[in-house]
Structure 1
Amino acid sequence: MIVLKGATAALALVLLTAAPAHAAVFVTAAPAHAAVNNPPTISDVKLYDQNACAAQDAPTVIPGAASVYLSAEVSDPDTYSPQARFAIWPVDHPDQRQVVVGSVSGYSGPARKEWRPSEFAHGTVLAFQAQATDGTNVTDWSAPCFMRVDAVAPAKGPVVSSAEYPADGSFHNGVGKPGTFRFDAEGDPDVVAYVWRSSSNPQTVIPAPAPGAPVTIEYTPTRDGIVSLYVTALDAAKNRSPETSYTFAVREIRPGIALDVAGVGLPGTLRLATGATTVTSFGYRVGDAAEIRVPAVAEGTSQVAAEVPLTVTAKGEVTVTARSFEGDAPLSQATKTFTVSDAPRVTSDDLLWPGTGGVAGRESTLTLTPRSADVATYRFTAGSEPTRVVPAGPDGTAVVRWTPPAPGTVAVTVTSLTTTGTVSDETHVNATVLDPVPTITVAGSGSWPPVDGIGRPLTINIHSPAPGIASYSYHFNDGPELTAPSDSGGAYITVTPDHAGDNTLRARTHFSNGTTSAERTLTFQVSDAPIITSPDYPEGTDAGGPGIPGTFTFHPAQPTVHSYTYSYEYGDDQTVTAAPDGTATIVITPDSEGWKTLQVTSHNADGTPSDPREYNFTVATAPSSATKAKK
């Protein structure tokens, strides 16, 4: 077929339509182009996860609640992304036919369409077929394929059992020992497969040898304790039954491996132990060396063990593999890797954990123990101090006496040198050094609004974390030296300032061994806010009542108080002149019950204000009319 395209075709059509029947029409234009459109092809119509198109008497079983993927191979040499139309209908209701479309990515390949059969009842047999289209040409419909909706899952979860690992609450068999587990659908003809998983195994599908028939798997526990298998039965549509949880307990039969590594070239101890009391011997090998068998010895009634000497000849990682045996039959195996270092061991009764800590200015000792043979000397460095060379004794150990100069955490580095000059790896430890000089803490100092003041007692804590403290001595301002016994929190003392501004407390620590620390001095500020007293409304108590007047006296904390400003219940400021002794008295008559606040500031003759003082009191509840009448 020759096709006229574009403006040429349009002009020809106009001329032919408008011209009289007897007229001659001449069209002069560019030559026409012939366009050839090859039709698509379609093949291999089926469900995506099936091997072939199913016949009507053996339809593919599909789930009622999940999706299926309709699939066909489509090819078109001159059209990109041709489509496949899929028609689906119940075989007994062709009038319910529906069509869905899937596309190809490219010129050829599979066209797939996700589709859900959820609108169809359980047991419905559906037919589907496909045709390809490139937008112009359409193929014939393919022969139909068939599928049956299965919307009912197996009703019961499979029964799970094991002879080696029964689910009876007791510990059985052991880690690394395989067991057989039977999954049984009890003849349910719907069941065609089982799915099982555990915490250490991904989901695995096991086909049933026949519908409803049981299967047996082998499973080897990799840890002791409580283990669970989770098993589900599948029907042909992959509908899942309820899940069965099978829980059992596994004994720890692997040999425990402990290696006390004394060091490189020094004798150590290898210990093997197991709770499987039927074990009669252990075998062990170091690295790739040959296995050595040793007898197992009972330790009480619940464990057998063996200890053997073992010397490691080189630093680095060493792997020990151990097996346990019942007679000549191997029971279980374990492997453990240890890191061997020749860095010396550093210990101290006080400076290092679990010691309480050393004390600045007090001598402590550290013991250096070799982790290699033939150690002659050690290099010892504490903080920024110069490195010391310490000779080793005949047994290779050395004791370092060290007096920490200051409190804090001090990094200590130690290496050993052998008689041949070999330098070991470094040992790094942190020494804890405590401050014997006590800290001083004043409760309430610097609070705002101020709670301290002249004549107001202050609680002071004197404390040092150093061990062996008997007591503390202290001076408050220019007062005499006083002593307070120590307890776990230090010592708590009470002082009463007699002036505002700078106040000083000096304290020392006294140890049980008769030594005394240096003195700590703390200078702190005592507020110059005026002191307020009231016999009618004492601070912090319930008193008086609405309409009952109360006197309030302001006492100076500044040297030359001239006046006071005050406000009651955050009202306007009022001023009262001070008497020659610096005091002033006012009268307040509360008009209601409850919590009240009086704020007062004193002023010197030159106008210098003090800190403000806040005085809080509670006006008692007014008595009832009946109570008044009775009185």
Structure 2
Amino acid sequence: MNRTPAARTRAAFASVAAAGLALLAVAAPAHATGGTPTTPTDLYNEYRACSTDQAAPVYVAGRTGLTVEGIPGHTDPNTRWITEQFRAWPVSDPSQVVTAERGYASVGNEATATLGGYNAPLRDGETYAWQARTVDADSGAASDWSAPCYVATDDTFPSAEPTVSSPNYPAGQRNQGGTPITLTFGANGVSGVAGYAFTWFGTFPVPGVSTVGEHGIPQYRDPYETSPNYFARADSLGGSATVNLMPPYNSGLLVLRVASLDRAFNMSQPTTYYIAVKPDAPKVTKVSNSPQYGKQAIFKLTPDPDLHAVSPVVSYTVERLGQTRSTTTVKASTSGIAELNLTLDDPYGDVLLVTSTSANGWVSQQQWWSTGGTDTSPTVTSDVYPENGSGGGAGVPGTFTFTPKIKGAVSYTYSVNWGEGTTVKAGARGEAQVSWTPTDSGWYALEVYGTTKDGAQTAPTDYFFTVN
């Protein structure tokens, strides 16, 4: 009588089961237990739930081995540690059994092992079946093997980089910004492409990273479902994907890198797509008097008209650079105009970076505004001890005069050789004089900063001189 293919598969499977029992050794007993081990549950491969359908295996990269896991069980509630065994074989050649074992596995929690690896790699392009069972290290009793799980190994990277095109932001020309960027990724003739990874930041994210839930059960996150800002599933195997993206920043030249992914998440060489965007930064106008240190200034923020026509500007983000960094959001009127009140008090000059945000989320390019490098440090002079020169001598007093470069100085704080500071009041015109007598000859440093009536502190002046 002729055997059917299914009958032959069952016969081969029975042979493998018998071989697996002989191949896997049982750890030496440690203590007596009652009850019996139970077949592992919650089987996962590469942190994804196993497939019991041979026609729909989980695709994995097998070059470094196959990570498998399951939760071993035991009917004795006092049993805490158990052995979990795994075995795998290519469906096309069930005699080639690969085994692995996890000793001292915690009952009721995922136990992990690796089938194959660098020394005995799984064969590329094969469908493998694998099983797990629980073994009582004391009695030697073993549970039944689990139903087979199926994986397909794929260690071949997509052979060509993807194609990238855009109907509303074509490459090679400057485009009006303000609308989402429509992009179509193509497989470039590679039949095994299952999806695409893309990034504005140069480095591609890692797909399929999992978290761990209760009892160590992997919580797999399908990147195509959970990370649409980085991954797009192809509409069919070897097909294309279309996305609508808002760039996270807008420098005027946007650079997007795109790579193809196969079903095992092997990545192709990337394609780089350049998008040129017309200038769309807002206008920043200071409408109050000339910048006065320590005083509040009023700014008018006006949107780029072409950008505002595409999608109305609803707010502005103002990033302040300098010693004290801050970020402020200002709401715009229906016309897209906003007013910003800001105290200019950075001792080295105030710098603002301003972007507009449209109703659809588009962020404009940056507008730069600054006070022009205002020097707020006081001027220091001396009749006896000239700057970067020598004079006087030990016991010879000298007068030092402090003169402001800005309005509103009410006091000065000075220190010699960066010692304890001394504060003196300023006169009506913001000037002050101090007398100082050195006790020794040598090199000295005088540091001076001023304070305004509004409490703003100026940049310091470092004045160096030598006592004869």
**TM-score in terms of structure 2 length:** 0.59
Contact 2:251 2:366 in 1 (8 A): no
Distance 1:405 1:335, change over 3 A: farther
CA distance in 2: counterparts of 1:138 and 1:325, whole angstroms: 64
Distance 1:255 1:310, change over 3 A: same
Contact 2:448 2:460 in 1 (8 A): yes
- Counterpart of 1:44 in structure 2: which amino acid? T
Contact 1:410 1:432 in 2 (8 A): yes
* 1:149 matched to 2:153: yes
* 1:230 matched to 2:252: no
CA distance in 2: counterparts of 1:325 and 1:51, whole angstroms: 42
1:278: how far off? 5.2
* Superposition RMSD in Å: 5.2
CA distance in 1: counterparts of 2:240 and 2:202, whole angstroms: 23
**Which one has a bigger Cα radius of gyration?**
1
Contact 2:200 2:247 in 1 (8 A): no
| Partner in structure 2 of residue 159 of structure 1 | 163
Contact 1:350 1:357 in 2 (8 A): no
Q: Does the residue aligned with 1:109 lie in a helix, a strand or coil?
A: coil
CA distance in 2: counterparts of 1:284 and 1:98, whole angstroms: 61
CA distance in 2: counterparts of 1:36 and 1:386, whole angstroms: 81
Matches within 5 A, 1:182-197: 182-186=184-188, 188-197=190-199
* 1:109 matched to 2:109: yes
Which ranges in structure 2 are unaligned for 5 or more consecutive residues? 1-31, 206-229, 319-327, 393-397
Q: Does the residue aligned with 2:72 lie in a helix, a strand or coil?
A: strand
Matches within 5 A, 1:45-444: 46-48=43-45, 49-76=47-74, 77=76, 78-103=78-103, 105-116=105-116, 119=121, 121-135=123-137, 136-168=140-172, 172-173=175-176, 178-186=180-188, 188-199=190-201, 203=205, 204-217=230-243, 218-224=245-251, 226-250=253-277, 253-255=280-282, 257=284, 261-264=291-294, 268=297, 270=299, 291=332, 312=343, 332=364, 345-348=376-379, 366-368=402-404, 378-380=410-412, 383=415, 389-392=425-428, 397-399=429-431, 408-416=444-452, 424-427=455-458, 429-434=460-465
CA distance in 2: counterparts of 1:285 and 1:60, whole angstroms: 46
Contact 2:37 2:73 in 1 (8 A): yes
Contact 2:89 2:130 in 1 (8 A): yes
Distance 1:127 1:431, change over 3 A: closer
Matches within 5 A, 1:603-618: none
1:235: how far off? 1.6
1:389: how far off? 4.7
CA distance in 2: counterparts of 1:132 and 1:380, whole angstroms: 80
Superimposed CA distance per residue, residues 278-317 of structure 1 (whole angstroms, 9 cap, x where no aligned partner): 5799987997887579999xxxxxxxxx9x997859999x
CA distance in 2: counterparts of 1:309 and 1:192, whole angstroms: 49
Superimposed CA distance per residue, residues 430-472 of structure 1 (whole angstroms, 9 cap, x where no aligned partner): 253556x9xxxxxxxxxxxxxxxxxxxxxxxxxxxxxxxxxxx
| Partner in structure 2 of residue 546 of structure 1 | none
CA distance in 2: counterparts of 1:178 and 1:433, whole angstroms: 58
Which ranges in structure 1 are unaligned for 5 or more consecutive residues? 1-34, 297-305, 418-422, 438-519, 521-631
Superimposed CA distance per residue, residues 165-204 of structure 1 (whole angstroms, 9 cap, x where no aligned partner): 4443x65445x86423322114643111212223278623
Distance 1:97 1:221, change over 3 A: closer
Distance 1:349 1:378, change over 3 A: closer
Q: Does the residue aligned with 2:109 lie in a helix, a strand or coil?
A: strand
Distance 1:45 1:226, change over 3 A: same
- Counterpart of 1:57 in structure 2: which amino acid? A
CA distance in 2: counterparts of 1:56 and 1:280, whole angstroms: 56
Aligned identity (percent) is 22
- Counterpart of 1:181 in structure 2: which amino acid? L
Greater mean deviation of Cα atoms: 117-126 or 85-94: 117-126
CA distance in 2: counterparts of 1:426 and 1:363, whole angstroms: 23
Distance 1:127 1:164, change over 3 A: same
Distance 1:93 1:52, change over 3 A: closer
1:336: how far off? 9.3
1:159: how far off? 0.9
- Counterpart of 1:205 in structure 2: which amino acid? F
CA distance in 1: counterparts of 2:63 and 2:364, whole angstroms: 47
Contact 1:54 1:147 in 2 (8 A): no
Superimposed CA distance per residue, residues 307-364 of structure 1 (whole angstroms, 9 cap, x where no aligned partner): x997859999x998966699xx99838699999xxxx95544979xxx9868867998
The higher-RCO structure (CA 8 Å, 6+ apart) is 2
Contact 1:154 1:241 in 2 (8 A): yes
Q: How many pairs does the alignment contain?
A: 366
Contact 1:279 1:325 in 2 (8 A): no
- Counterpart of 2:241 in structure 1: which amino acid? V
Matches within 5 A, 1:571-582: none
CA distance in 2: counterparts of 1:196 and 1:130, whole angstroms: 37
- Counterpart of 2:35 in structure 1: which amino acid? N
Superimposed CA distance per residue, residues 73-125 of structure 1 (whole angstroms, 9 cap, x where no aligned partner): 31122544222222322334333233322346323333332123775544433
Matches within 5 A, 1:526-541: none
